[in-house]
Each structure stands twice: as structure tokens, then as C-alpha cells.
Amino acid sequence: MNRKIKDFLFFKVIILMIISLLPLPSLAQTEQAEKLERDFLIYSQFSNLVLEEGQSVDLEVKFINRGENPEAITVELIADPEAEDWDVALHNESWRGFKVRQLNLLSQDPDNSRALNLHIEAPKEIEEGQDQKSYTFTIKAKTTDGQLTRSLDIVVAAVGKKEEEVKKETDEIILNTKYPVVEAASGKPMKFEIEVKNQTDEDQIMDFAVDLPLGWRATISPRYREDETISAIKINKAGTETIILTVNTPFTAEKDEYELKFIVKAGELEKSLDLKAIVTGTYVMNAGTETGNLKLSTISGEEKDFTFYIWNEGSAAIDNVTFFSTAPQGWEIKFNPEKMVELPSVVQTNQPEKISMTVKVPQNTVPGDYMITVNAAGTQDQKKIEFRTTVQVPTKWGWIGVLIILAILVLLLSIFLKLRRR
């Protein structure tokens, strides 16, 4: 008997141990089970929001009955006392539904939960200093008998909108261009023909704006009347107008591709069009002398130096500039420097390049005017200048002639002196 009792006790202890080992969940379960008699939850997926001014949101707020008995719950929304201009309401789920003050939940699924919409609309304009301020909206729920009370805080911060985002791009204005990429030399105008379509239901006055790189200028003119400049145009509803956007690149614009933006605004509506301008370099070789005088003067048989200048009036450098000349037969013309690897734009250098030219006229050249054609040729451009060269006879022969005459006169004089007075 004792032994039996002992065994029983031992058994009991083990069982108790087992029970005490399993237990916490099961124990909790028992507690829960106890509470499940009367319990409900308020649940929302989001409880801390950021809204922009004027933005509204509908939050789903779920009320779940977790008790065994049906519950009648009164719902109350307590707005932040500082949130004056806010529009807050608790509706049933359907769009723009009715306000709800009480809801009844059964104990069995699916009727044990009900979702309500918490509509929060931020004020249209947020005052200065109110930016980023948080407001708390509390949903208070309690059972009709007042035994159970639950609450949920939704924190909403309001921020001011950014200006660009105010005017959203609209599809009601259509901008179209056939040639969105235009290529031109710097300093030369580029023309974009843009079609503006008004697809709204009313006539619109469209203002134009152009986003340009620094130093560029743009004018907008009606088609076929390009001497006029406009900054706005009225387009009838469902109408289309074509305008010409003329972009003037500065002379100093470097060879590159540039992004331009053409923007049309009509009240709240805004539409932009991306354009591309490709600036090519210009190459304009020019040459001249200091005085602009293209007349040279030299003496036959002699070597003489002349100076002329070349410069690049374009925007990009001209490569491999060499000089060659056409002159009468037997003439020797040399240049210093003989060639130039690169002739940068005069816009950059601010001064022309000095070239000295040595002209050697052969002996016994008949006096008169001759043409020397000098050609300065680079890879991209060339320039021809013609010098009218006056060749004169060296005066040394003249002096020899005078000497001969003088010698004869001296001879004559000596004869006079010797033979006179007889």
C-alpha cells in the first residue's frame, strides 16, 4: 500500500513537473481564454503619417472583437486641438460614406471585425512655422457598458509642398516638335518649330519660358512672323498653334551638346518639352595687314620682310595652318613661322598671329606691279590675300650712269683747261 502511494505520488510529481514545464503558453492561454470573454482591438496599419498641404488620406482602421460575446462599441474621434483647419472624419468604408459613432461586432468571424475609414485632409495652406509640426488624432472606443476602453493615436505631420510639385505636368497641353535636335555654329541662331496643342475644354493663354544655359538668349515668335517676339499666346480650345523658338548661342559657346527645356504654362497647367542644341565650332580664317593696306614695295634683286596677321574669327581652333604663295616665276617667298599646329579662336587669344613674310625678287625683274597671292590654309578653313607688289629698279645702276656722265664732264673740263686760250 505504501509502495502504491509512493508510486502514485511519484507519478503525480512527474506529471506536475511536466505540466509545470509545458505550461507558460498553456497558462497564458488560459489567461487569454479568460480575457477573451470581453475584448476588442483597434488596429491601423499606419499610425504616424506625413501629409503634404492639401493632401488627404483615408486610413483603414480596424475594430476587432476578440471576446466571446458580441460587443457594441461607441467610437469617438478626438482631433488635436491645434489642428484647426484639418478635416478629419471617421466614415464607413464606402467612398464618402456616412459618419460612424457606434458599431456592433459579433464574436464569430467574419463579423467580429469592421474597418472604418479615417479621413484626414491636411489644410490647403500650411502657415509659416507650422511646417513639419505633428498633430495627434485619437480614436477612442469603448463598450456601451463602459467596461472596456481602447484608444489609438494617429500622429500626422504636415509639410509644405514644393513649388514644382504644385503644378504637375499636364497632358492637356501637348507640345510637339519635328526637329528636337538642332545643330548650329556658335553665334548662329537655332530654330525650333514647336506645335502647341490645347486639349482643355477652354481657351487658354499660354505663357512660354525657356530653360537655357547661361548667356544664351531665346526669342519666341509666331510662325511666318519671325520678326516679332512674343511671350504668350492664346490658343482656342482644342486648337493648335505653331511657334518658332529661336535660340541665339553666344559667340563664346563651346562646341558641345546642350539641353534646353521649353515650358508652357497655362494657369495651373504646365507642360515642358526637352530640346537639344548642338553647338558646332566655327572656323573663320582671316588675314590682313596692320594698316589694311595690301600693297608692298620692294626692289628687284633684294630681299625684303613684310608682316601680316592671321586670326581665327570662329569659335574653334583651326588646325595645321600652313602658308603657301603664288608669285611670279623666280620669286622666293618664305614665311615665319612656316606652319602653325593650331590657330585658336581670336575670342580666346584676343590678338592675331603675326606672320613675317620674306620676299626675294630676282635680279633684273622688270619694274612694275605684281600680284603675290598668299594662302593661309588650315584643316577647316583657309584665307587668301593678295598683295600688290611694286618692284622698283635698284638705283645703283642710276648712280653708275651718273658717274659715267660725270667722268665725261671731268674729261671735257680737263681738255678745256689744257687747250683753252691759245
Query: Which is nearer to other proteins, 296 or 340 (by Cβ)?
Result: 296
Least spacing, CB of residue 293 vs other proteins, in Å: 16
Contact segment (CB under 8 A) with other proteins among 151-159, 238-246, 267-275, 398-406 equals: 398-406
Of the candidates 56, 59, 58, 57, the one whose C-alpha atom is nearest the C-alpha of residue 44 is 59
Query: Which is nearer to other proteins, 76 or 369 (by Cβ)?
Result: 369
Of the candidates 282, 104, 258, 70, the one whose C-alpha atom is nearest the C-alpha of residue 187 is 282
CA distance 26 to 18: 12
Place of cell 504637375: 168
CA distance 236 to 198: 7
Q: Does 416 bind other proteins (CB under 8 A)?
A: yes
Least spacing, CB of residue 304 vs other proteins, in Å: 17
Query: Which is nearer to other proteins, 342 or 369 (by Cβ)?
Result: 369
* 179 three-class SS: coil
CA distance 245 to 262: 9
Task: Report whether 230 contacts 206 (CB < 8 A).
Answer: no
Q: Does 159 bind other proteins (CB under 8 A)?
A: no
Q: Enumerate residues 64-83 that contact other proteins by CB under 8 A.
A: none
Least spacing, CB of residue 387 vs other proteins, in Å: 12
Query: Which is nearer to other proteins, 26 or 395 (by Cβ)?
Result: 395
Q: Enumerate residues 350-379 that contact other proteins by CB under 8 A.
A: 364-371
Contact segment (CB under 8 A) with other proteins among 50-58, 179-187, 346-354, 406-414 equals: 406-414
Of the candidates 212, 183, 209, the one whose C-alpha atom is nearest the C-alpha of residue 196 is 209
Contact segment (CB under 8 A) with other proteins among 105-113, 285-293, 316-324, 399-407 equals: 399-407
Query: Which is nearer to other proteins, 9 or 411 (by Cβ)?
Result: 411
Q: Does 215 bind other proteins (CB under 8 A)?
A: no
Residues 6+ apart with CB under 8 A from 150: 40, 41, 42, 140, 141, 142
Query: Which is nearer to other proteins, 72 or 406 (by Cβ)?
Result: 406
Query: Which is nearer to other proteins, 222 or 328 (by Cβ)?
Result: 328
Of the candidates 88, 76, 91, 81, the one whose C-alpha atom is nearest the C-alpha of residue 51 is 88
CA distance 406 to 414: 12
Least spacing, CB of residue 360 vs other proteins, in Å: 15
For other proteins (CB under 8 A), the number of binding residues is 30
Least spacing, CB of residue 342 vs other proteins, in Å: 34
Query: Which is nearer to other proteins, 59 or 361 (by Cβ)?
Result: 361
Place of cell 484639418: 86
Q: What number of other Cβ atoms are within 10 A of residue 264's Cβ?
A: 26
Query: N- to C-terminal Cα distance for the chain?
Result: 205
Q: Write the binding mask 302 to 341 for other proteins: x where contact by CB under 8 A, - elsewhere.
A: --------------------------xx------------
Least spacing, CB of residue 307 vs other proteins, in Å: 23
Contact segment (CB under 8 A) with other proteins among 103-111, 120-128, 263-271, 408-416 equals: 408-416
Task: Report whether 345 contacts 254 (CB < 8 A).
Answer: no
CA distance 116 to 44: 10
Query: Which is nearer to other proteins, 4 or 418 (by Cβ)?
Result: 418
Least spacing, CB of residue 395 vs other proteins, in Å: 8
CA distance 287 to 284: 10
Query: Which is nearer to other proteins, 70 or 394 (by Cβ)?
Result: 394
Q: Does 410 bind other proteins (CB under 8 A)?
A: no
Least spacing, CB of residue 305 vs other proteins, in Å: 22
**DSSP class per residue in 39-69:** -EEEEES-SEEEEETT-EEEEEEEEEE-SSS
Residue ranges in 155-256 assigned as alpha helix (H): 163-166
Q: What are phi and psi of 408, to 5 degrees?
A: -65, -40
Least spacing, CB of residue 297 vs other proteins, in Å: 11
In the complex, the residues that contact other proteins under the rule CB under 8 A are 328-329, 364-371, 388, 392-393, 395, 397-398, 401-402, 404-405, 408-409, 411-412, 415-416, 419-422
